[in-house]
Each structure stands twice: as structure tokens, then as C-alpha cells.
Structure 1
């Protein structure tokens, strides 16, 4: 007898098995959550704790919602349309409870999520034991109920055509293409995955000129708020592209810390690579990509430093350890080892006396927008693009671009 070392998932030709596999993954994340609860009092928000918090956040903010939608939009309606007699009576009693449980677990998750976000960034160690216990208990009982009642009924009642319909709906929800024919699948395995064939067809929403507000920052605020409500993972993450005197572009991901009518603000080391490039060429491009909403926002403009007062205000709002790290790191410069970095940090910590001061080479940048494009994914790559362009008189021109 041989045992595979790889935890393989069933394919969507077995949709009920896929849902059970999702339950198994949920159980693993619930165990991680419980392990984290025990870990924090002894070790705080260390690297292991941050990674655990990020893993749980990623799963329950994304995959778990897809699983609920599989049940609410496909599995349960299909069962309701198929079941008769005693099966229909069981569903009549069970389905409202399952839907109510989904809502309750979502409410429980919102409590835990806000705490995990802080643990994931190392800014706090608080995690409610009672909230975790309730969340674990609710999910465990919910999954057992589905595995004992719903899954066996579906296996018994669904025809092969219905199983295929369910599996394809679940695939489409995840942006996956239907399974390839055996010959094509064999070819793909033999030749490897062709990057040119990787594509996701978008279709969640549309964007018309009349849908957008008159000022691009107001429109950004509207979309950012929608991204937060949709629990987009790290909706505040943006790519910052800069170009130095040599004309060569570079980009990296940073976190936006503020936006208003003046522009879009982030904080960093002024002596870093991006800081040096911005000193040579004070223009940059920002990019937000919110996959869950099939949206992106491109922002271009000139960059200026924030005032010392603004930089102070943000610097001293950060956790002390983050303040120390900003002082200890000569960002983008070569260093021999991680150990050398840790020694630098320890030296700065000892010298600070617990009250680090913002160094003059650390502060904020604000991109003052001159061009802002809102992109909404649409089917067949026929996307919606609405662009705002700053005019000489300070007004904004709004127009549609072809995809």
C-alpha cells in the first residue's frame, strides 16, 4: 500500500466531494485559529503569529465566501427543485437554518477579522477567546449538519447531469474553465501549462460614464469603500512605479495611508530606491487591483513630500517596533546578513530609551493626481474604462477609453 504525500483535492466532476474538501480546509483554518489563540499570550504577534493570522484572514475572507455561495446559489436551490416527499420536508426545515447560520458565522467573523488584521500587521495581540470559541463551535456544528443531511441527499438525488451542472457552476464562480477533454488534458500535462491560455472572464459589474462621480478622488473613495465592504484582501495595497534619471522604471507594493482632495499619501524612507528616483523625477504611477470586484484604478501625477508635521503625526501613530525598524533600516542598501540587521535594530532600540524619534530621512509622499483611470472588468475582454484628466483650469475631463 502506498500513501500520497500530496493532499490532492477532488476535481469539479465530483462537486459534493469538493464541498467536503472545503470543509476539511475550514477545519484546518479553525485549528490554526485555536493554535494562534494559545500562541499569543506566550509569544505575542511574532512572525509565526502574523503568518497564522494572514492565513486565516485569507481563507475566511475569500474561499469561505465562495463555499457559502456554492451552497446558497446552486446546491440548495437544486436540491429544493429536485427533492420530493420526506426529502422536501427535511429541506423545508433545514435550509432556513443553514442560511441563518451563514449570516451568524459572517457576523462572528467580522469580530475576529478586525483583531486578526492587527495581529497580521504586528500592531496588537488581542484575540477574543469567546469569539473564537463561538466561531469554531458554529462552523463545526454547521459542517456536521451539512455532511450528515445535505451531502448524502445530493448524492442520492442528483443525476450525472445535475452533478455536472453543479460542478461547472462552482468552477465558474472561481473563474476556472471547464475540465478539458481527455486528449486535451493529456496534451496539457505533457506540454506544461501555456501562460497564454490562462485567462479569467470577468462579469460582476459594469461601469458607465453616468455611474461615476464628477471628481476622481470622490469616485476613488466610493470604490475604495465598496472594496472594504466586499472584504477585498488588503484593499489598501497599491503598486508604486517610479523612474529615475536613467529612464528605467521600477515598481513595488506599498500601503496607502491617506487620500483626500490633495492626493494619495504613503510613507517610506526618502533615501530608498524610490526616494532617490523621486528626487530625480518627481512623477509616479499608482495601481490598485481589487480582484474580488474585478476592478483596477490607475493614478498618475507629480509627487511631493508631506509636511514634517504630517510625517510626525503618522510616524508616532505607528507601533514602537515599527518606528525602530524605520530607523534601523537603511532601506534598499546592501547588508551582509539578517543577523547584521537584527544587531542594527538592537542598537537603535537600546539608544532610543523607548522613545524613538522620527529620522529626517523618513516621511510621507503625496501623489497629486493628473490622470485617474477606473477599469471595470467585463466579459470577453470588452472592459469598461473611464478616465479623468486634469485640465489647465483645474477642472477634470471625463471620457471613455476603448479596452
Structure 2
């Protein structure tokens, strides 16, 4: 038997064949998506459904975007550079349609992504029939155009050097060593730990040198100035609720940056405990480093980063203490051990060892018992925002940034910033 038992994938020395092979993989995932649509009403989110949803998610979250980038950043620009006459006219007419297809399919995928993620964790069984049908049909017609026109044009116009250039670009996008064994279009950049060949902590060592090569493309959502709320607190609330729904790890964690008297900045992570029209509130020891810096320079910057949603929010403004009543209310709502720890710790002050810290806690526990009162040097800070920027990661580092700036009359001005 001379024929292989499995469908072998072409290598990147045949880049057009790799692109067509990718289309075959996409068609298989689209078929799985249609089967899942029919499976869910009868069987719900059973194990088979969850596995199918996970497979579709994995492919369209990773490999499909790489395939789009192959076309947008390499194939079409290279064709545009060499096409003449009728080929140039055909490409000029077709290229915008291909790029728009990518945008439209990405937008549809965002909706499907959310639905499939809920199916994977077994918390939902809904999959929109209309979106699946539109997504499948758009992809199928898109691939037919490319296979009928773009691929044959590339095979006619590219010489061996240009084919090699295209193949090498596709390899680099996937983090594949040019000397490595053949790999398929499904290959995605491996995590840094998996590709490391030498590890060192010395300055300028291998890890430090490779940091510049760590890249992750974004593509979960988009942010349009016409869709955001007029008030940034409403927009933040909307995003925070979406972070909760997506089960982001500690969505209430935020970076707080302050400066000392010499203008030197410091940052740390704290937990926001309240946000409303008045601002963003957290609690701490007023004698800590950040407490002293805020007392001297009452301004700060907050940063929320929700990795799972590829979003961040930066908030700048003036900081003031919350009222004693607010601080008392929150302090008394904390677990007993947390209240005792707040009393026992002179936050940011040096201490000899962990044993000394534990000893201080035991002494405080014996002294205060079950009902410790809030110490005067512990309480809340509230940042009243003057500037709030919403950042949504987008493909090829062409991110969306919308910033709100508070005006003198208390209203908010809104504008888009370049990435």
C-alpha cells in the first residue's frame, strides 16, 4: 500500500496548498458547528456537546485568526505588488470584499464564542440558529472566492522566491522554526515555556532576550464610540458585569499607582470594594506606603486588566478618605480574622520574621477578642475620576481606545484615541 492512511498536511514550502488545507480544516469545524446546532435541542450540553463546542472554540479562537492574518498581511499585499492588467483589476475589486468578510465573520464569531463557552462549561444549551447559518454560509462563500480566484492567481504570479517568502512569513506567524519538521496550518505559537531552549536568570540571559518575541493577538470583541454609554461609570458597570459573567479571575482586582515627594511612582494590586458616581473605593492602612503617598500627593491612577476579555480600564483622579462611618461599616463587615490582622499589621513597616508577625496577631486576638473596633489608621480611600480610558484588544495591535474626560461642569467628554 503506497497511499498514506491519513490526510497528510502540506508543509509551508507550499504556502498556497497550506492555505487551501486550512480551508479544509475550517469546513470540518463548520460541519461540527452545524451538528452541534442539531444535537443541543435533544441532548443538551452533554459530554459530546461540550467536546464539540470546545473543539470549535479552540480552532476559531486561534488557528482561524492566523489564517486571516496570512491573507491580510502577506498574501494579498504580495499579490497587489505583482498583479498587472486584468489580474490587478480583479484583485482591486475582490480584496475589499475579502477583508470585509474577515471583519463580518469576526463579529459573528464573538457572539458564537460567548454561546459556545457557556456550552463548554455546561451552564447553557443555547446556540443561535441564525448566527450559525450566517457564519457558515459567509465562510463557505468566502473560501470559494479565494479558491476560485486568489489561490490560482498566486500560483500563476508567484515565483519560487515569493512562494518561499510567503511560506516563511506563515511559519513566523505560528512561531515555527524554519528548520523544524513539517507543520500544518493548525499550528499556533507555543507558550514561551514550551519553546524555551535555555533558561537563565542572569541579566541579558535567554529569557530576557526572548521577551520581545512573546506575542498574543487579540480578537474577542470591539469597542465603538457609537456603542458605549454616555457616562463612563455606566460603561464601567457594563464591562464589570460582563467580567463577572465571564468568570474573570478576580475582576475586582486593580492596580493602584501613587507617587512620592520626589515624583517616583509605585504600584500595587488592591481590591475595589465599591464604585458608583462618586468614584472607586478601596480600604487600607493609612500609615502604609500608599497611604502616606496619597496624604502627600492626593492623586492616583487605577488599572483594571481583564485578561480573559482582552480589556483594561485606566482611571485617573484625585483621592480622598472615605467618611469614618463608611470605614466603620466596611471594617465591621469583614471576617473576624481579617479585622484582627488589620490591627496587628503595621503595613509596609519592616519586621524581623514571620514568627514575629504571627506573635503580633496572637496578642491582638487575645486583647480584642470577638469584637475589635476599627483602628484610626485604617479606612477607605475613594478616587474621584477625572479621566477614564477603556481599552479593547484588537487584532494586529490595532486596539480600540475610548477615553472620557470630566469637564468643569461635571459632564463627560468622550473621544477615540489612536492605538
Band of TM-score, shorter chain = 0.5 to 0.7
- Residues 348, 386 of structure 1: CA spacing in aligned structure 2 closer, same or farther, 3 A cutoff? same
- The question of 1:343 aligning with 2:364 is answered no
Equivalent residues of 1:76, 1:95 under 8 A apart: no
* Structure 1 match to 2:279: 263
Q: Distance in 2 between matches of 1:258 and 1:219?
A: 15
- The question of 1:281 aligning with 2:277 is answered no
5 Å-filtered alignment, 1:298-377, equals 298-377=314-393
Equivalent residues of 2:258, 2:299 under 8 A apart: yes
Q: Distance in 2 between matches of 1:246 and 1:228?
A: 39
* Structure 2 match to 1:100: 46
* Structure 2 match to 1:230: 246
Give how far 1:329 is off. Answer: 0.2
* Structure 2 match to 1:178: 174
- Write the deviation string for residues 319-360 of structure 1: whole angstroms up to 9, x where unpaired: 000000000000000000100000000000000021111000
* Structure 2 match to 1:116: none
Q: Distance in 2 between matches of 1:338 and 1:95?
A: 57
- Residues 344, 261 of structure 1: CA spacing in aligned structure 2 closer, same or farther, 3 A cutoff? same
Q: Distance in 2 between matches of 1:207 and 1:348?
A: 50
Q: Distance in 2 between matches of 1:253 and 1:260?
A: 20
* Structure 2 match to 1:36: none
- Residues 293, 79 of structure 1: CA spacing in aligned structure 2 closer, same or farther, 3 A cutoff? closer
- Residues 196, 74 of structure 1: CA spacing in aligned structure 2 closer, same or farther, 3 A cutoff? farther
Aligned partner of residue 335 in structure 1, secondary structure: coil
Q: Distance in 1 between matches of 2:385 and 2:239?
A: 17
Gaps of 5+ in 2: 1-7, 9-25, 52-120, 122-171, 182-193, 199-204
Give how far 1:200 is off. Answer: 0.8
5 Å-filtered alignment, 1:129-144, equals none
Q: Distance in 2 between matches of 1:306 and 1:102?
A: 52
- Residues 391, 93 of structure 1: CA spacing in aligned structure 2 closer, same or farther, 3 A cutoff? closer
- Residues 74, 377 of structure 1: CA spacing in aligned structure 2 closer, same or farther, 3 A cutoff? farther
- Write the deviation string for residues 169-212 of structure 1: whole angstroms up to 9, x where unpaired: xxxxxxx9635135379996369451111111111111111111
Q: Distance in 2 between matches of 1:329 and 1:74?
A: 60
- Residues 74, 299 of structure 1: CA spacing in aligned structure 2 closer, same or farther, 3 A cutoff? farther
CA RMSD of aligned residues (A): 3.4
Q: Distance in 2 between matches of 1:313 and 1:222?
A: 27
Q: Distance in 1 between matches of 2:328 and 2:366?
A: 21
* Structure 1 match to 2:17: none
TM-score normalised by the chain length of structure 1: 0.58
Runs of 4+ aligned structure 1 residues displaced above 6 Å come to 73-76, 91-95, 102-105, 184-188
Equivalent residues of 1:206, 1:384 under 8 A apart: yes
Q: Distance in 2 between matches of 1:254 and 1:102?
A: 41
Give the paired residue count: 257
* Structure 1 match to 2:261: 245
Using the TM superposition, name which of 193-202 and 283-292 deviates more.
Answer: 193-202
Equivalent residues of 2:39, 2:49 under 8 A apart: no
Aligned partner of residue 373 in structure 1, secondary structure: strand
Out of 389, 406, 417, the position equivalent to 1:390 is: 406
Out of 284, 290, 299, the position equivalent to 2:306 is: 290
Give how far 1:392 is off. Answer: 1.1
* Structure 2 match to 1:202: 218
Q: Distance in 2 between matches of 1:103 and 1:317?
A: 43
Aligned partner of residue 183 in structure 1, secondary structure: coil
- Write the deviation string for residues 211-262 of structure 1: whole angstroms up to 9, x where unpaired: 1111111110011011101111100000000001121100000000000000
Give how far 1:371 is off. Answer: 0.2
- The question of 1:189 aligning with 2:189 is answered no
